[in-house]
Amino acid sequence: MDDVLRLGFLGSLQRSGIVPGLDRMKALMGAFGNPQLEYPVVLVTGTNGKGSTACFIESILRAAGYRTGRFTSPHLVDVRERIAIDGRMIDAGLFLELGNELRSVVESGDVRPTFFEALTAIGFLAFRRVAVDVAVVEIGMGGRFDSTNVAEPVVSVLTNVGLDHVGFLGGTREAIASEKVGIARRGRPFVTGVDELLFESTVGPALAGIGAKPVREGVDFRVTRHGATMSWKGWSGVHDGLVPGLAGRWQDSNLSLAVAAVECLRESAGFEVDDDAFRRGAAAASWPARFQKVASAPDTIVDGCHNVHAAESLRQELAGLARPLILVHATKPEKDYEGVLALLAPLADGIVETAFDGGADPEIVAAVARKHAGPGVGVEVVPGIAAAVGRARGLAGVSGTVVMAGSLYLAGAAMREMGWTV
């Protein structure tokens, strides 16, 4: 099932692009009786890691026996991936039913939602229809004016802040943080992993003005790695033997934030989650295209890295991978791909630039990659994704590694074309 899903109006809404603001969403939700207010919601924002953190939170709550809803974006292959109920993407019949209900309201009224707003609305409606106990909702972009922020979260989470979407959110970390803190609510916990400097300059004062309760990684809780397992220690107690189900050492922080968010739900909203549920939920978490191994001989890894902050984390993993290491890269034209390539290209033994619909011209990006590649490292342009993957795997040989990175849209296109499991 693709984006249009036999609902032609959803496809037409894609042309509206990003239009920040809450007025349309408030009117739309009001027409349906505000379903987003009928169950507890956890809102999760951040430059990177917000989807993984939401995944961990939902998985832990589901392991504790709660009926869960999860809303994330973007999707990789099927638009229904954005809306999950009890860890499984929404049934096609229910999606179509709710989509048609939404279309009727839109076509009979004055509100013309964006594509993202329409999908957010379907998610909130679905969670009411199936009577979830809790919904874990990932912010699309920013926070203050994101359509998901019509919910009233019982807990809010801010993973971290880097430079991304600067045309909408501002050109400094402080400006971006100010937008993201907009998901905080008076008297409610706000879990965050931002660094001390940003907290003192921006996040802390903003939370004080709102009246939210900061819960800080490194201050109120922290994790310690013991080989393959983690220990979480915080204001509420200790959780030992945690094994994150998602690969990549940056997932330690995401899991730490998720555990803190669930602890806040226990403390402030009466949720009952035992120690075993934390362990089982952490281990069972699954989130595609996040340092995901999709093939062997050679190992082929897909990662949604698309900004400098994410590239800094991915770079730490590349050094330990089998050689030769071949990078398959493609990006959106508005992204800071030079910053990403400056971090990743020097570690590659070969680079294959490719393209996806709406992506940057691979010839232009390849010229930038050549500036940052190591001496003697070849940079090729192979526009077709399947052909690019085949070329990279040939260069890597059976004992090397292929890493695809640069955009979640690249990851999704590769998943579709190669038939890899989402």
Pair type for strands 213-216 and 221-226: unpaired
pLDDT for residue 249: 84
Same domain as 115, residue 68: yes
Cα torsion angle, 144, 149, 155, 158, sign: negative
Same domain as 228, residue 263: yes
For 144, 234, 239, 354, 421, the CA distances from 225, given in Å and listed in that order, are 34, 15, 12, 37, 29
Task: Tell me, yes or no, whether 170 lies in a domain.
Answer: yes
The SS3 assignment for 123 reads helix
Instruction: Please calculate the CA angle 196-21-137 and round it to the nearest 5 degrees.
Output: 60
Pair type for strands 292-295 and 299-302: antiparallel
Task: Tell me, yes or no, whether 53 lies in a domain.
Answer: yes
Short-list 331, 332, 283, 322, CA closest to 301: 322
Same domain as 242, residue 327: no
Structure tokens at 320: 């330990």
Same domain as 144, residue 186: yes
Residues whose CB is less than 8 angstroms from the CB of residue 83 and which lie 6 or more positions away in sequence, other chains included: 69, 70, 71, 89, 90, 95, 119, 122, 123, 126
Measured CA to CA, the distance from residue 160 to residue 218 in angstroms comes to: 13
pLDDT for residue 14: 60
Alpha-carbon Rg for the chain, nearest whole angstrom, is: 21
Q: How many domains, in total, are found in the chain? A: 2
| H helices present in 17-171, as ranges | 23-31, 50-63, 92-108, 115-129, 166-169
Measured CA to CA, the distance from residue 101 to residue 366 in angstroms comes to: 46
The SS3 assignment for 391 reads helix
Measured CA to CA, the distance from residue 413 to residue 265 in angstroms comes to: 37
Task: Tell me, yes or no, whether 1 lies in a domain.
Answer: no
**Residue 181 CB-half CA count within 13 A:** 25
Task: Tell me, yes or no, whether 2 lies in a domain.
Answer: no
Helices 115-129, 23-31: inter-axial angle, 10-degree rounding: 30
Residue 396 belongs to domain with CATH number: 3.90.190.20
pLDDT for residue 294: 95
Q: Which domain holds residue 386?
A: 292-418
Amino acid at 137: V
pLDDT for residue 353: 98
Same domain as 190, residue 325: no
Final residue in a domain of this structure, among 259, 284, 309: 284
pLDDT for residue 1: 40
The SS3 assignment for 283 reads helix
pLDDT for residue 142: 79
pLDDT for residue 3: 42
Same domain as 202, residue 323: no
Amino acid at 295: A
Same domain as 67, residue 169: yes
Structure tokens at 355: 């393209």
pLDDT tens-place values along the chain, 422 residues long = 444 445 566 766 766 666 778 999 999 999 999 999 999 999 999 988 999 999 999 999 999 999 999 999 989 999 999 999 999 999 999 999 999 999 999 888 788 898 999 999 999 999 999 999 999 999 988 788 999 999 999 999 999 998 777 777 788 999 999 999 999 999 999 999 999 999 999 999 999 999 999 999 999 999 999 888 999 999 999 999 999 999 888 899 999 999 999 999 999 999 999 999 999 999 999 989 989 999 999 999 999 998 898 899 899 999 899 999 999 999 999 999 999 999 999 999 999 999 999 999 999 999 999 999 999 999 999 999 999 999 999 999 999 999 999 999 999 999 999 998 87
Final residue in a domain of this structure, among 244, 260, 284: 284
Task: Tell me, yes or no, whether 3 lies in a domain.
Answer: no
Task: Tell me, yes or no, whether 16 lies in a domain.
Answer: yes
What is the layout of strands, in order, in the sheet containing 325-329? Answer: 292-295, 299-302, 401-405, 325-329, 350-353, 379-381
Same domain as 298, residue 280: no
Backbone torsions φ then ψ of 218, nearest 5 degrees: 90, -10
Same domain as 367, residue 230: no
Task: Tell me, yes or no, whether 97 lies in a domain.
Answer: yes
Same domain as 349, residue 325: yes
Backbone torsions φ then ψ of 352, nearest 5 degrees: -120, 115
Final residue in a domain of this structure, among 221, 256, 284: 284
pLDDT for residue 40: 98
Structure tokens at 92: 């096609």
Residue 71 belongs to domain with CATH number: 3.40.1190.10
Instruction: Output b/e per residue, 64-102; b: 16+ Cβ within 10 A.
Output: bebbbbbbbbbbbbbbbbbbbbeeebbeeebbbebbeeb
Q: How many residues does the chain have?
A: 422
Short-list 290, 310, 220, CA closest to 256: 220
Same domain as 241, residue 179: yes
Same domain as 43, residue 187: yes
The one-character DSSP state at 217 is B
Measured CA to CA, the distance from residue 371 to residue 193 in angstroms comes to: 34
